[in-house]
């Protein structure tokens, strides 16, 4: 899962809390580890830069225990970078430090810390505070999953997709990395729905969403129900070849899955079993562009796939068809 938006479908409550300990003094790291005891997955960083590297690598962190006074980036700077680089990521940070003056605590909370612990500290109190903030984070994520998921398919909903796209676009613009997008929908789905009824159509959409979820491998990738029988795959750090390859593998999986389900999957008026058509796009965002640029590019190519005969993936604008309707 990602640390924001709709995560994948495993139950976070079954996993041990993932906590990052950040301090330049080994004795302090040992004390914090002792305070938490067993039942935690601990990550350790000895300076601010290492802490940020860990946060980038570990999207499923539940909490950070962060010292303030460290060589290089101090704790305040680490938290500032975290909030700027990952504005959508609700990763709770607790300062654990000897700087117990009122101004330091006020500054820490102003930057977005959820708590502030002054050394020397009580081990049970540290443990209790960590447990409380981890529980709050996971409860919030559970409620957000309900709000950000499509009720029928379990994929992300349109609201979730739009917000995630905006966040990934900003990140790709800042880091000068490609952002990939695949838009796909089901061929002749109306005929399929008419033949099998709404329960059969609903089951088909759930199966397609499950196959799409299985096709994405990285925590940052996202599948969303874009509308009706149309879905979107959002693929950070993915060039056009990568987006095309993933879409083509998904197309083959859908074709194989429904073909193996027997003749009942055939659609009257269609040349064969249920298939999908897809349009792919990828770009490094420009400063004068917005995310709609990427959507329109993928949508044009999805339309081209439909016009060209369906059951195919289009990843370029070569020989785009003239405007016209597609059933």
CB 239 within 8 A of CB 178: yes
**Residue keyed to tokens 């750090």:** 237
The beta strand positions in the chain, using DSSP E, are 18-22, 41-45, 63-66, 93-97, 115-118, 179-186, 222-227, 230-236, 276-283, 313-314
What's the Cα-to-Cα distance from 18 to each of 2, 40, 48, 59, 297, rounded to whole Å?
Answer: 13, 6, 18, 10, 39
Residue of 126, 125, 134, 132 whose CA lies nearest to 60: 134
Q: How many CB atoms lie within 10 A of CB 163?
A: 15
Task: State the maximum Cα–Cα separation within the chain, in Å, rounded to a whole number.
Answer: 75
Q: Which residues pair with 66 in a beta bridge?
A: 22, 95
50, two tokens: 């290492």
Question: Dihedrals φ, ψ of 111, to 5°?
Answer: -80, -15
Please give the Cα distance from 91 to 4 (Å, whole number): 9
Q: Look at residues 208, 191, 197, 318 and name the one whose alpha carbon lies nearest to residue 267.
A: 191
DSSP symbols for 126-154: HHHHHHHHHHHHHHHHHHHHHHHB-TTT-
Active-site residue flag, 229: yes
Name the DSSP class of 176: T
> What is the distance between the alpha carbons of residues 99 and 208, in angstroms, rounded to a whole number?
54
Task: Spot the catalytic one: 229, 230, 248, 289.
Answer: 229
Which residues are the active-site residues? Answer: 229
């Amino acid at each position: 899962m990602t640390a924001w938006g709709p995560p994948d479908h495993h139950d976070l409550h079954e996993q041990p809390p993932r906590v990052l300990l950040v301090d330049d003094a080994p004795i302090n790291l040992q004390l914090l580890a002792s305070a938490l005891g067993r039942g935690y997955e601990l990550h350790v960083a000895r300076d601010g830069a290492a802490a940020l590297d860990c946060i980038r690598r570990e999207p499923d962190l539940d909490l950070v225990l962060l010292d303030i006074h460290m060589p290089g980036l101090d704790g305040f700077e680490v938290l500032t970078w975290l909030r700027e680089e990952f504005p959508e990521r609700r990763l709770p940070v607790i300062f654990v430090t000897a700087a117990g003056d009122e101004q330091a605590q006020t500054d820490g909370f102003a930057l977005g810390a959820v708590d502030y612990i002054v050394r020397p500290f009580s081990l049970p109190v540290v443990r209790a505070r960590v447990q409380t903030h981890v529980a709050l984070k996971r409860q919030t994520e559970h409620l957000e999953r309900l709000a950000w998921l499509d009720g029928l398919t379990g994929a992300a909903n349109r609201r979730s997709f739009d917000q995630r796209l905006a966040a990934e676009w900003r990140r790709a613009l800042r880091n000068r990395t490609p952002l990939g997008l695949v838009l796909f929908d089901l061929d002749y789905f109306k005929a399929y729905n008419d033949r099998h009824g709404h329960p059969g159509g609903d089951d088909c959409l759930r199966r397609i969403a499950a196959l799409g979820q299985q096709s994405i491998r990285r925590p940052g990738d996202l599948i969303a129900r874009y509308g009706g029988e149309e879905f979107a795959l959002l693929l950070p750090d993915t060039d056009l070849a990568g987006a095309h390859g993933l879409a083509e593998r998904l197309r083959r999986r859908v074709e194989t899955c429904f073909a193996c389900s027997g003749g009942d999957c055939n659609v009257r008026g269609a040349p064969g079993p249920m298939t999908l058509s897809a349009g792919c796009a990828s770009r490094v965002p420009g400063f004068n562009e917005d995310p709609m640029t990427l959507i329109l590019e993928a949508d044009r190519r999805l339309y081209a796939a439909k016009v060209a005969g369906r059951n195919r993936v289009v990843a370029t604008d070569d020989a785009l068809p003239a405007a016209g309707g597609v059933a």
